Amino acid sequence: MKNLLFSIITIFFFSSCSSTFFYSTLNTPNGYVEKVDNGDFLLETDSLWIAYCFKGQGGPVQITVFNKTDKPFYVDWKKSALIIDNVALTYSGEKLDYSGDWGGLSNDTYAWGGFDGSVSLPKDVSFIPPQTMISEIPLALNPTFDHIDKKKYRDSYIGNKSETAMKVKRLDFDERNSPLSFKSYLTVYSQPERPMVFEQDFYLSTLMRTSEMKPSSLPGQMLDRGDFFYMEKPANNTALYTTLGIVAGAGLIVIGVVYGEPEDYYDYSDDW
């Protein structure tokens, strides 16, 4: 009985102490935006190209602009923004706290969550000399997925860096039912009176949930993709200690009574 009680507490301890990781893949509905081999989203014109990369924890929005011409260009961050659900989050230097909600439908399943964060850049305008590039990370997406019904995920598998299949829970979306859609609005100019505006649309296409696989266990080619980011939900230690207290108390009661009596494989790389 003592061994049984110890086993129960051990199971609760290790299952409750694990963080939950959400692995997300983004896509774009824009035909004029190319999703290149490394997962970055590329928009190219005769004079410049603009690339978006979201790799890392929280979905950092990395914007790279390359000036292909022999004249200088400028990015006006004050007149540029990330737009989520019609809420514009400026890329400018003014600090702006923000939050909001998003929702969507997948396979007749409604899912919703939220986003929050802050913007903090030291400048309003970036100078791009001829034949050079600049790269900035003005903010991060930081979505939350806590309110998606766990029962709606389907079983799937993902390979770790050792090429072992690990079980995960997965949801897939398209542009129409994605729970997270957003737009980047970037203002670039060579002459201030003649600004150029570039829009790119993005949506979450895949969401995987697991407590069995940390980001450090993922293959490097996956973590380095520009369309892939992850969120970590730490374990709730308060709930853990409460659970342990209940289990220990119940165990003492059970021990007292007893002492008074006679003795599916999915290859995720195919998506890319």
| DSSP secondary structure of 44-66 | E-SSEEEEEE--EET-EEEEEEE
Domain count, the chain: 2
What percentage of residues in the chain have a pLDDT greater than 90? 51
Residues 12, 57: one domain? Answer: no
Contact 91, 75 (CB under 8 A): no
29 inside domain: yes
Residues 254, 121: one domain? Answer: no
Q: Is the pLDDT of residue 243 over 50?
A: no
pTM of the predicted model, to two decimals?
0.72
pLDDT of residue 151: 84
Contact 147, 103 (CB under 8 A): no
Residues 178, 252: one domain? Answer: no
pLDDT of residue 122: 41
Q: Report the b/e string of 160-175 with b at 16+ CB within 10 A.
A: beeeeeeebbbbbbee
Q: Is the pLDDT of residue 103 over 80?
A: no
Parallel, antiparallel or unpaired: strands 228-233 and 56-57: parallel
Contact 153, 170 (CB under 8 A): yes
109 inside domain: yes
Alpha helices in the chain (DSSP H): 2-17, 220-223, 237-259
108 inside domain: yes
3 inside domain: yes
Residues 78, 1: one domain? Answer: no
Residues 72, 103: one domain? Answer: yes
Contact 125, 74 (CB under 8 A): yes
**Alpha-carbon span 59 to 137, nearest angstrom:** 10
Contact 267, 28 (CB under 8 A): no
268 inside domain: no
Mean per-residue pLDDT of the chain: 77
Residues 133, 51: one domain? Answer: yes
Residues 98, 27: one domain? Answer: yes
Q: Which domain holds residue 167?
A: 21-234
73 inside domain: yes
Residues 184, 242: one domain? Answer: no
Q: Pick the residue with more confidence: 122 or 169?
A: 169
Alpha helices in 51-145 (DSSP H): none
Residues 147, 257: one domain? Answer: no
Q: Which sign, positive or negative, has the C-alpha torsion 240, 242, 243, 247?
A: positive
Residues 72, 7: one domain? Answer: no
Residues 160, 60: one domain? Answer: yes
pLDDT of residue 3: 55
Which tens digit of pLDDT belongs to each residue from 52-66?
Answer: 999 999 999 999 999
Which tens digit of pLDDT belongs to each residue from 188-237?
Answer: 999 999 999 999 999 999 999 999 889 999 988 899 999 999 999 987 75
- Check residue 32 and report its DSSP letter: T
Confidence band of 145 (pLDDT split at 50, 70, 90): confident
CA separation (Å) from 117 to 102, 127, 232?
15, 26, 15
Residues 86, 116: one domain? Answer: yes
How many CA atoms within 13 Å lie on the side-chain side of 255? Answer: 12
62 inside domain: yes
